[in-house]
């Protein structure tokens, strides 16, 4: 039976733990010559531009022995009126998996509902589950444990915040989200995640969130497609910058995470992202390893 990965909530805590452990093993060089995707072809449809998601998936597919096919929306018939459902049905006859990076999460759901092969969310406006798999791997790598780790997410309640809430509910994290009023994460996802095993708190004061944190996490204030609100958001979020003053409120061994790309001087300062507590670039590397483990699990 095929499995999709549209949101972190699609997997159990045991499955997520298995992916992370496998990713750490792959990173260490275990099974470096194993190629479970030999003869497999995966399609990457990206409506949003990407650096890390595209490169990490294409390299990972290649390292696992498979073939990736990258296309933009203008290169397929959906742009000329073919339905998403028909496209998914046809591609299921050619391919072994589909990775989509898009705006509306509903498009992923429609692809998955009409596809006989696994569909993976490379990013939507509502969820970013592949990023948070890498985040969990990084926390395990740097802190030794996931359950009980305290994360302070500082900034916009966006797709990353939504997926971190699901991670908290599944994996027993304590997550404090500090954001201005009106920029909270999705209320439905919050309610569902709070029914899980973790703790999720919405705060206004970023220093209060940082004070109890093992991990400080931030993301851009203005996501792709929201450029029209850039000036308003910069004013609203000016007190939510991750800087040396904020780090001084946290534990001495706190680590700093950012999913990248970073707008240096806005949500994070140079001295922090390049400083000794930053694990941002290890976190970016771990996209490759965690996605390889995910592909091994899903593509049969």
The answer on 122 and 135 residing in a single domain is no
Q: For the chain, which residues score pLDDT lower than 70?
A: 79, 225, 228
Is residue 4 flagged as an active site residue? no
What are residue 49's phi and psi, to 5 degrees? Answer: -65, 155
Catalytic residue among 7, 150, 170, 287: 287
Is residue 101 flagged as an active site residue? yes
Catalytic residue among 249, 259, 283, 289: 259
CATH number at residue 108: 3.40.50.1370
Is residue 259 flagged as an active site residue? yes
Q: Let me know if residue 230 belongs to a domain.
A: yes
The per-residue pLDDT for 60 is 98
The answer on 177 and 292 residing in a single domain is no
DSSP state of 227: G
Is residue 35 flagged as an active site residue? no
Q: Comparing C-alpha atoms, which of 135, 140, 121, 139 is closest to residue 21?
A: 140
Domain holding 211, by residue range, is 131-283
Q: Let me know if residue 141 belongs to a domain.
A: yes
Residues 189 and 162 sit within 8 Å (Cβ to Cβ): yes
Q: Let me know if residue 3 belongs to a domain.
A: no
- Residues 81-122: tens digit of each pLDDT: 799 999 999 999 999 999 999 999 999 999 999 999 999 999
Catalytic residue among 63, 131, 283, 291: 131
pTM exceeding the 0.95 threshold for the entire prediction? yes
Catalytic residue among 7, 22, 52, 101: 101
Q: Let me know if residue 173 belongs to a domain.
A: yes
The per-residue pLDDT for 29 is 96
């Amino acid at each position: 039976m095929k499995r999709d990965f549209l949101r972190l909530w699609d997997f159990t805590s045991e499955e997520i733990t298995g992916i992370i452990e496998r990713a750490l093993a792959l990173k260490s060089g275990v099974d470096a010559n194993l190629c479970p995707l030999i003869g497999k072809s995966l399609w990457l449809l990206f409506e949003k531009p990407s650096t890390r998601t595209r490169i990490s998936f294409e390299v990972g597919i290649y390292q696992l022995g498979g073939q990736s096919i990258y296309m933009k929306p203008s290169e397929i018939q959906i742009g000329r009126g073919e339905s998403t459902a028909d496209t998914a049905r046809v591609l299921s006859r050619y391919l072994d998996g589909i990775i989509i990076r898009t705006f509306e999460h509903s498009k992923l759901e429609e692809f998955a509902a009409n596809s006989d092969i696994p569909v993976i969310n490379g990013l939507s406006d509502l969820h970013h589950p592949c990023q948070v798999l890498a985040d969990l791997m990084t926390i395990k790598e740097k802190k030794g444990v996931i359950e009980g780790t305290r994360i302070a997410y500082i900034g916009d309640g966006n797709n990353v915040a939504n997926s971190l809430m699901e991670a908290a509910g599944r994996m027993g994290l304590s997550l404090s989200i500090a954001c201005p009023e009106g920029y909270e994460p999705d209320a439905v996802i919050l309610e569902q995640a709070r029914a899980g095993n973790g703790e999720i708190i919405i705060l206004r004061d970023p220093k209060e969130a940082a004070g109890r944190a093992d991990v400080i996490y931030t993301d851009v204030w203005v996501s792709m497609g929201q450029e029209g609100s850039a000036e308003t958001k910069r004013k609203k979020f000016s007190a939510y910058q991750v800087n040396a003053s904020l780090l001084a409120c946290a534990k001495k061994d706190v680590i700093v995470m950012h999913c990248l790309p970073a707008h240096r001087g806005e949500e994070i300062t140079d001295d922090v992202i390049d400083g000794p507590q930053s694990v941002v670039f290890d976190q970016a590397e771990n996209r490759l390893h965690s996605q390889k483990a995910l592909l091994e699990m899903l593509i049969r």
